[in-house]
Chains A and B, each alone.
Chain A
Amino acid sequence: MDIKEFVQTFAQQFEDTDPAEITADTEFRELDEWSSLTGMCIMAMAKTQYGKIITGKELKECETVKDVFDLISSK
């Protein structure tokens, strides 16, 4: 898994946010579109795209996209 590809996949979970707005350093909770549903989609993405289970608690501790990347990589 490389970070560039991960950022793209992460960005795909948003419907109306310009992917260009999302980088490794983006604090994703600050995005207008962020909601608990997006959070669930990120957990589902981890499972279906990367075969890794991340919990709501772990996700809550992440601030940036890179943090989520590191979390999934650590699994």
Chain B
Amino acid sequence: MTTPYTLVDKNILITGASSGIGRAIAILCSRMGAKCCITGRNAERLEDTLSQMQGDGHQAIVADLLNEEDRAVLVNALPKLDGVVQNAGVGSRVPCKFVTQTDIDQVFTINTFSPILLQKELMQGKKLSAGASVVFISSMAVKYPSVGNAIYSASKGAIQAYAQVLALELAPRKIRVNCVCPAMIWTDLVTADGIDKDDLIKDQAKYPLGRYGSPEDVADLVGFILSPASSWMTGSCVELTGGGNEL
């Protein structure tokens, strides 16, 4: 019996696969039968991801997505893709009163500008197969304001708005574009910027399901959106929250 919940022989690009959510997505895609191209700046951690993946034919390409030349090398090395996961990103917590141009640049360049440019380069390079699925990892931060999160929330809001237009432009080729919006997920990102992990451990109890999400929780949803099981889904922003209604 066949099922549409499969990625057998699909070529999938996953950015930010050297850590956290991207790593979990790469591992899941490999288990679903995909051939993955994984990318990130840290070669060692990329290799670590690769070593946890199932099946052969995967490739790891080291690239700084802020660097135009690195992106060109990456795009050139890619086969025609059936799926793209734009996941690389950084967090940031700065009160509005203290925001500097550097804070804005650090966040927007990787969370917003480079995914937009990489997407364009993939399209110009004719790397997207008809019927492909593109997933942007946005965040519930767009909808749930929390103090200190202004620049991060804005960067994700921008990519969400962009993705909805991209969905329209790619619909004629039956290429689907969706965003996944996780609430708090246990990765290095949430404990960066001096946040106290003990506070987060206490805080996760306020989620109705009693905990923050795991990278695998996000991967399971992304696997579905990449697969033919979601063929009629495009332009959506899917919320993944453990029932929580704040960050």
State the A residues within 8 Å of B (CB). Answer: 35-37, 40-41, 43-45, 48, 53-58, 60
Contacts and interface: CB of A to CB of B under 8 A. Distances in A.
Contact of A44 (B94, B195, B197, B199): B94
Contacts of A36: 147
Interface string B175-208: 0000000000000000000111111000000000
A56 B148 contact: no
Contact of A41 (B97, B196, B198): B97
B93 interface: yes
Interface size of B as a range: 10 to 19
Closest 10 CB pairs of A and B: A55-B194, A44-B98, A56-B196, A57-B196, A37-B147, A40-B148, A40-B95, A56-B194, A41-B95, A56-B195
A45 B98 CA distance: 8
Contacts of B194: 43, 53-58
Given A37-B148, A40-B147, A40-B148, A55 B95 contact: no
Central interface residue in B95, B148, B195, B196, by most chain A CB within 10 Å:
B95
Nearest to B199: A56
Contacts, number: 37
Contacts of B93: 40
Given A40-B95, A41-B98, A55 B196 contact: yes
Q: Interface majority SS on A: helix, strand, loop or mixed?
A: helix
6 contacts: A41-B97, A41-B98, A48-B98, A54-B194, A57-B194, A57-B196
B207 to A, nearest CB: 18
Nearest to A15: B97
A60 B196 CA distance: 9
B7 to A, nearest CB: 40
B32 to A, nearest CB: 38
Given A55-B194, A58-B194, A60-B196, 12 more contacts: A40-B147, A41-B95, A41-B97, A43-B194, A44-B94, A44-B95, A44-B97, A48-B98, A56-B199, A57-B196, A57-B197, A60-B199
Nearest to A55: B194
A40 B194 CA distance: 9
Contacts of B147: 35-37, 40
Contacts of B198: 57
Interface in B154-173: none
